Structure 1
Amino acid sequence: MEESGSRRRLIRGFGDDVLLRIFAHLTLRSLAQCAVVCKYWNKLIESSSLLWRTMYTKNYKTLKATVGLTFMSKIAKLSLPRSNNETVTDWKSRAVQEEQCAQLLSGSISIQPWKAHRGRVNCCRMMMDYIASGSSDRKIRIWSSKSRHYMEEYTLPTSAAIVDLDFDTNKILGIAGAELYIWRRDGKRRLLRQMGGHNQRLYSMCHVDPEVSVGCEDGAIRIFDLYGGGCSSIIRQHTEAVTGVGVNADLHLLASCSRDGTVKLCDSFSGEKVASLSSKSSLAEAHCLQVISDGLNKLVVGTASGHLHCWDMRWF
């Protein structure tokens, strides 16, 4: 206890102003590492608008010297819109997004392909250093991104192909045919639960405990209770199959896209419609959807025409 108290006094001994000046000289990666040292540093870093504004300005000058004006003009087109009253989140998001855009435009790319399944790989998810893949061979495998060897394997009890999946430290979720399957990751890898009963083919899913949202062939989104084992609600937003669903837990929004070319937002609690999204270019048949949280709050939809459409979910 005495040692932890001494460390605490040492960490706080510099004062907020001195610490912020030190943090301002770091890279974004180093700043992120400092944010997990202790709660005091985390709160100081997360709440300082001046720090993130300084990081953005410094980063801009560095990137301008590194990638040149041509790349910076491209980055400016991809950046967040400016407002008169920038918040901490705005400056933080701007600094991080600028760094990410620069890496995409000028960074090196390392491609490491490997043979994962005998059949077609229909879906994949990544969490920390683990990758989950689902295939038409009825198998879900959990891989190490470092060794590229699979450590766990789960097999469907039917001949249907896995079309979408999700996983966390305790369980694996996958959809195939008209059924939702849940496996327990406790070493025994046993099938914990199988849910269906609506006779509709499933195309997409999104898992936010304690619920799973699945996109169905009839244009509806069915919400399943993971622990109760049944369908708790049905949200009807589309006229054709729902090919993508995603939840922004911070904004309480459920997003969905469909083969009918529509993208919808509804309240994730009540199911009430919030918005029907459109783009400057006409939306073709929507094939996939991704909700990006972590302060960015973006919604990205891919269509059959080869276009990507992106919206800021904070506008709704």
Structure 2
Amino acid sequence: MSSCLNYKSQSFPSGRGFAPASSNKKRPRRGPPLINALDPDALSAVFSSLDCLSDLLSCSLVCRAWRTVVTKGKCFNVLYRKQWEVGIVRGVCFEEMAGVMHRDALLQSPRINVDQWKGHSGTIDQCRMKDGLLLTGSTRDKFMRLWSVEESYKCDYDFQGEYRLPVDYGPLVGFDFDESKIVGLVGSENSRICIWRRSGMTTISNPFKCKGTFPKGLCMSYCDPEAVVGCADGTARVFDMYSSQCSHIIRMHDPEVPVTCIGLSDEGSRLSILAAGGSSITVSSVLTPDHEFAAKLHMAGEIKTLSYNPCGNDRTVFAGSRNGYVYSWDLRTCGLLWETKLSQDAVCSMQHRRNDATTLVVGGRDGVLHLLDQNTGNVITKFILDTSYCVLSSTKPASSSSGGCPRNMVIQRLRGRRTAPDAKIVSIPAPPITCLAVGMKRIITTHGNDYIRTWKFI
């Protein structure tokens, strides 16, 4: 990064009104400003000029450093106290306030903008979103790409980077990321865990790999510092990212039942693993150095996707099946809370916003976005494309054309609309939803060979 900020030394004649001696030379380009360029004191001074609590809340969602400054600074307490006195946010805590804003946007926002673009040459079947950044990947593509989903959708090669899999590593199976690294599961038969470092403006092409390979890995979930891999032999393997070694091998299912979905919950010193295979879910709590099994849940259909929500009074797990059902269990009692039939096609992905115990977004082969109530399982509304809206297109220049990513990417602006919960949708409004991610007032969906779409609720 230092090389991007250094300037060539130039001599300037003494006296006023003289131009630099080497004025015909091009001035080196300065790199983009870093998000942590301001210290906490400077950020607090900037945030103190805000007079709206919702604006301050939006700033806290940019990154972890800004969130710390907002929640622990005086400006939030002052604004909260002022608005509490007038009854605007009486009795509502910080996390609940964000959840209310997010839910209201999904249910009441007058306009839904849908932007779509083609980000990979192959099938896009995986995506993860954190702090306004979107990471996408494909089992057929040898690239993972990091996008900014706040304003533009330019592939951010200069700052975050494009991450390439070495040719001899096999296909990409799963991945996740945080502020400093990307953790990926690669290899079809002999699998391994790889780590790509995110270091400023540098793209690291050759990842660091954990020691040794293991039997066929089918899914992966990451919760710093552990990455957990579900394998075809019915085991879950826990890898420590700091020692780069496998710390636990846990038998979750019978050897003939592979682990196809993994979910994690980090509660203090306890790491809870939810492993789904076939039509059952096994919950294991990993302690140090022993582990114990907490529950085993069964459902009628084969499980396709899994989600876990530790918020609220219940520890709730959601599962989607290949026959179109969504299930919810309470892990405290191991009892079924509800089940809902969404469609005749498979449920491929589901997610809720962090610390949100009210809404659940579900997508699948029918191409429809379903919004469910987490407590009852009732469909609140459905999101589809508004075919009466004229498509607007714009071209965003990309700084690289490697890996099948076009040099000039076309961004199409469409419009979405809500439908009644019981509305019958005759035709498929979009290609099947292969994966989705939920952020503040936005939903990201991937559609196989077609597009990446972002649904913004304005």
The TM-score with structure 2 as length reference comes to 0.48
Q: Distance in 2 between matches of 1:211 and 1:32?
A: 30
Q: Does 2:153 align with 1:143?
A: no
Q: 3-state DSSP class of the match of 1:110?
A: strand
Q: Which of 230, 238, 260 is matched with 2:278 structurally?
A: 260
Q: 3-state DSSP class of the match of 1:200?
A: coil
Quote how far apart the aligned CAs of 1:181 are. 1.5
Q: 3-state DSSP class of the match of 2:106?
A: helix
> Contact 1:184–1:191 (CA<8 Å) still a contact in 2?
no
Q: Does 2:216 align with 1:191?
A: no
Q: Which of 132, 157, 162 is matched with 1:153 structurally?
A: 162
Q: Distance in 2 between matches of 1:103 and 1:283?
A: 34
Q: Which one scores higher on RCO, CA 8 angstroms, separation ≥ 6?
A: 2
Quote how far apart the aligned CAs of 1:164 are. 1.1
**Alpha-carbon deviations, 1:181-214, whole Å to 9, x = none?**
1112231414342236454221211222222111
Q: Distance in 2 between matches of 1:41 and 1:307?
A: 47
Q: Distance in 2 between matches of 1:100 and 1:188?
A: 34
Q: Distance in 2 between matches of 1:301 and 1:202?
A: 20
> Contact 2:136–2:146 (CA<8 Å) still a contact in 1?
yes
Greater shift in the superposed pair: 288-297 or 251-260: 288-297
Quote how far apart the aligned CAs of 1:32 are. 7.2
**Cα pair distance change 1:134/1:209, threshold 3 Å:** same
Q: Report the residue type matching 2:216 in the other structure.
A: R
Aligned to 2:225: 210
Greater shift in the superposed pair: 106-115 or 140-149: 106-115
Q: Which of 221, 227, 252 is matched with 1:237 structurally?
A: 252
Q: 3-state DSSP class of the match of 1:223?
A: strand
Q: Distance in 2 between matches of 1:109 and 1:277?
A: 37
Q: Distance in 1 between matches of 2:94 and 2:147?
A: 32
> Contact 2:276–2:306 (CA<8 Å) still a contact in 1?
no
> Contact 1:118–1:137 (CA<8 Å) still a contact in 2?
yes
Q: Does 2:152 align with 1:134?
A: no
> Contact 1:125–1:166 (CA<8 Å) still a contact in 2?
yes
Matches within 5 A, 1:276-287: 276-278=296-298, 282-287=299-304
The aligned length equals: 257
Q: Which structure has greater strand proportion? A: 2
Aligned to 1:272: 292
**Alpha-carbon deviations, 1:23-48, whole Å to 9, x = none?**
9xx87676676985452659969xx9
Q: Report the residue type matching 2:131 in the other structure.
A: M
Q: Distance in 2 between matches of 1:273 and 1:42?
A: 45
Greater shift in the superposed pair: 229-238 or 298-307: 298-307
Q: Which of 123, 127, 130 is matched with 1:124 structurally?
A: 127
**Alpha-carbon deviations, 1:27-85, whole Å to 9, x = none?**
7676676985452659969xx9xx7xx7788xxxxxxxxxxxxxxxxxxxxxxxxxxxx
What percent of counterpart residues are identical? 28
Q: Distance in 2 between matches of 1:262 and 1:42?
A: 48
Greater shift in the superposed pair: 233-242 or 190-199: 190-199
Matches within 5 A, 1:54-65: none
Matches within 5 A, 1:240-251: 240-250=257-267
Q: Report the residue type matching 1:250 in the other structure.
A: E
Q: Report the residue type matching 2:328 in the other structure.
A: C
Q: Does 2:182 align with 1:163?
A: no
**Alpha-carbon deviations, 1:63-117, whole Å to 9, x = none?**
xxxxxxxxxxxxxxxxxxxxxxxxx9x9877766565444434444332221111
> Contact 2:56–2:76 (CA<8 Å) still a contact in 1?
no
Q: Report the residue type matching 1:185 in the other structure.
A: R
Q: 3-state DSSP class of the match of 1:104?
A: helix
**Alpha-carbon deviations, 1:94-148, whole Å to 9, x = none?**
7665654444344443322211111111211111121111112121111121321
**Alpha-carbon deviations, 1:218-277, whole Å to 9, x = none?**
111001121222211111112322222222112634232423111222213243111123
Q: Distance in 1 between matches of 2:242 and 2:136?
A: 24
Q: Report the residue type matching 1:288 in the other structure.
A: T
> Contact 1:213–1:224 (CA<8 Å) still a contact in 2?
yes
Q: Report the residue type matching 1:189 in the other structure.
A: I
Q: Distance in 2 between matches of 1:311 and 1:29?
A: 36
Q: Report the residue type matching 1:179 in the other structure.
A: R
Q: Distance in 1 between matches of 2:196 and 2:97?
A: 40
Aligned to 1:39: 72
Q: Distance in 1 between matches of 2:311 and 2:281?
A: 22
Q: 3-state DSSP class of the match of 1:163?
A: strand
> Contact 1:245–1:257 (CA<8 Å) still a contact in 2?
yes
Q: Distance in 2 between matches of 1:204 and 1:286?
A: 13
**Cα pair distance change 1:91/1:275, threshold 3 Å:** farther
> Contact 1:219–1:258 (CA<8 Å) still a contact in 2?
no
The TM-score with structure 1 as length reference comes to 0.66
Q: Does 2:309 align with 1:289?
A: no
Q: Report the residue type matching 2:291 in the other structure.
A: G
Q: Select the structure of larger CA radius of gyration.
A: 2
Greater shift in the superposed pair: 31-40 or 114-123: 31-40
Q: Over aligned residues, Cα RMSD in angstroms?
A: 3.8
> Contact 2:262–2:276 (CA<8 Å) still a contact in 1?
no
> Contact 1:143–1:149 (CA<8 Å) still a contact in 2?
yes
